[in-house]
């Protein structure tokens, strides 16, 4: 076959340097699928105002992790690793090209789609690097991709992988990271380690309106704990939500509140699992490894976190399985 498959790894994107922070925030708050800022006509002006006000604090936080987000680099590394093993799997069925496609920063969908056309791609598979569907992440990325495909007059056929919360190889990769994290504690300490799954928060109204995000996260946790078994963890892990901002009602409990609650229960050792993140970025490197680790220490607890999946070979195999399944399904 001379079929050429294009694979798009969809992600949020992130500012790579200090001067990127404000325009990145503007792009983020301009998206009405995440947040509606008054009437549609005022969305962008209000987004510009919010970006201007928030940029200094965000820039300071990014400075603490090297000046910018590593997300673009890591997603490109994931794409490169996935392309390599897909080429081996597709031998005789055609060829493939894998690229990252970001929602709020470069590389944007229009640029990546044009690259696909120039490379001779005949069909696309869109794989969100969000395992759990949410209209503010996967939904927004799909919508943007469709709009750009139509706007550019390309009309490439796109197969969309909606979510994959319990994909076995993905669960295997998470379990391996958790076992690695538990090994940071002594044998005696492990008996009292509390697993804490921290996911990116979401306005509660999304769930009330039927968004499956929380239920899909719970599917992932159930699959993890089934594989770990009671011998590995003495008690069930607990779920909390980080990175909330603004005056709306957010999912509870927040990660800071969960840490206070665990400290009040006499907890001494925590292994935090960034359950909804497949790449390291500011939410893992700064919030978890710096902010929450510091908060836990002040509360008399030791907090360690599992390493990001990033381009771990086991995780890349999970992505390959998802692509091959989509390719071979009718």
Segment (H or E) for 274? strand 269-274
b or e along 168-178 (b: 16 or more beta carbons within 10 Å of the residue's beta carbon)?
ebbbbbbbbbb
Phi, psi torsion values for 272, nearest 5 degrees: -95, 130
Strand order in the sheet with 269-274: 238-242, 193-200, 269-274, 302-305
Distance CA 142, CA 160 (A): 8
Given phi > 0 = left and psi -120 to 50 = alpha, else beta, which region is 124?
Answer: beta
> Does 283 belong to an annotated binding site?
yes
| DSSP per residue, 206-266 | HHHTT--HHHHHHHHHHHHHHHHHHHH-SS--EEEEE---SSS-B-SSBHHHHHHHHHHTT
> Does 328 belong to an annotated binding site?
no
Measuring CA to CA, which residue among 284, 283, 276, 10 is closest to residue 129? Answer: 10
| Three-state secondary-structure class, residue 314 | helix
Distance CA 311, CA 78 (A): 5
Distance CA 276, CA 14 (A): 17
Q: Which two tokens stand for residue 146?
A: 């469709």
Peptide bond between residue 107 and the one before it cis (omega within 30 degrees of 0): yes
Distance CA 323, CA 46 (A): 39
Segment (H or E) for 180? helix 168-182
Question: Which residue ranges make up the annotated binding site for Fe(2+)?
Answer: 200, 283
From the annotation, which residues make up the binding site?
200, 283
């Amino acid at each position: 076959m001379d079929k050429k498959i294009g694979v798009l790894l969809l992600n949020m994107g992130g500012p790579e340097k200090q001067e990127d922070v404000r325009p990145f925030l503007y792009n983020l708050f301009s998206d009405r699928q995440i947040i509606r800022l008054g009437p549609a006509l005022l969305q962008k002006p209000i987004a510009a105002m919010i970006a201007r006000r928030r940029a200094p604090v965000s820039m300071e936080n990014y400075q603490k992790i090297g000046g910018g987000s590593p997300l673009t680099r890591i997603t490109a590394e994931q794409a490169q690793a996935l392309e390599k093993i897909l080429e081996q799997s597709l031998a005789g069925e055609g060829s493939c090209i894998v690229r990252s496609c970001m929602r709020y920063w470069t590389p944007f969908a229009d640029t990546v789609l044009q690259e696909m056309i120039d490379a001779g791609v005949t069909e696309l598979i869109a794989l969100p690097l969000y395992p759990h569907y949410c209209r503010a992440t996967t939904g927004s990325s799909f919508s943007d991709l469709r709009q750009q495909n139509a706007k550019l007059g390309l009309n490439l056929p796109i197969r969309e992988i909606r979510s994959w919360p319990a994909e076995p190889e993905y669960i295997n990769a998470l379990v391996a990271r958790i076992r690695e994290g538990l090994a940071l504690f002594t044998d005696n300490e492990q008996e009292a380690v509390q697993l804490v799954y921290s996911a990116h928060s979401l306005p509660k109204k999304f769930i009330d309106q039927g968004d499956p995000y929380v239920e899909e996260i719970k599917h992932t946790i159930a699959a993890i704990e089934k594989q770990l078994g009671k011998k590995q963890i003495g008690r069930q892990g607990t779920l909390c939500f980080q990175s909330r901002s603004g005056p709306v009602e957010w999912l509870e409990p927040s990660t800071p509140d969960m840490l206070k609650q665990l400290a009040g229960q006499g907890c001494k050792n925590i292994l935090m699992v960034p359950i909804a993140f497949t790449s390291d970025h500011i939410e893992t490197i700064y919030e978890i490894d710096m902010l929450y680790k510091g908060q836990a220490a002040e509360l008399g607890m030791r907090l360690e976190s599992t390493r990001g999946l990033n381009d771990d070979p086991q995780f890349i195999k999970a992505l390959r399985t998802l692509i091959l399944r989509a390719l071979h399904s009718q």
